[in-house]
Amino acid sequence: MTEHGHTAPPSDPELRIKALESLLVEKGLIDPKAIDDIIETYETKIGPRNGARVVARAWADPAYKARLLQDATSAIAELGFTGAQGEDMVVVENTEEVHNVVVCTLCSCYPWPTLGLPPVWYKAAPYRARVVTDPRGVLLEFGTEVSPETEIRVWDSNAELRYLVLPRRPEGTEGWTEEQLAALVSRDSMIGTAVIAPPPAAAGDAP
């Protein structure tokens, strides 16, 4: 593995913010549940909706998909998603032959402009270590079973380069609008720890 820079551990200002937050909670000036709700919103709703729009556009527009896979940073910027932690992006596409999953082995480098705040498990040492050595087993723990015939590729993000997975478009979504498609896309599917199931109607049509 080549050496590369990674996001530094929490800085002194970050530690001071945590201490201040604890003090304010202790004095009853802020509600810890309200803070948790805000973090949850940015982890699973507001932030990942940006990435979902990128995925939906790629599914609906072959020309955009080609640009996204060739120069992800510029293609993502076309939709207005730029900024710190997203300056240099690479998009990797899931296919029948290949399933991609993203990690940051030394810390928690993560594409904030497209995915929002990283989930707690993404930053945890067990995920960072085990997804490299046993990706199939880790995916099973997320409820994602990948066919033995499908190659699993693990991509290690770093301070200079961040990865985003382009999930496979589920069957039964032909003719859908980009808004409908984006509603199917989850944060975890863009990290690679989940796949997108066909919509209920399409699943019901399966033999």
Top-level class of domain 50-205: alpha beta
- Please check the confidence at residue 114 and state whether its pLDDT lies above 70: yes
Task: In whole angstroms, give the CA distance from residue 60 to residue 179.
Answer: 10
- Please check the confidence at residue 8 and state whether its pLDDT lies above 70: no
Q: Residue 129 to residues 103, 105, 107, 126, 153: CA-CA distances in angstroms?
A: 9, 6, 11, 5, 15
- Please check the confidence at residue 9 and state whether its pLDDT lies above 90: no
Name the residues annotated as catalytic: 104, 107-109
pLDDT (tens digit, 9 = 90+) per residue, 127-156? 999 999 999 999 999 999 999 999 999 999
Strands annotated E in the chain: 89-93, 98-103, 151-156, 162-166
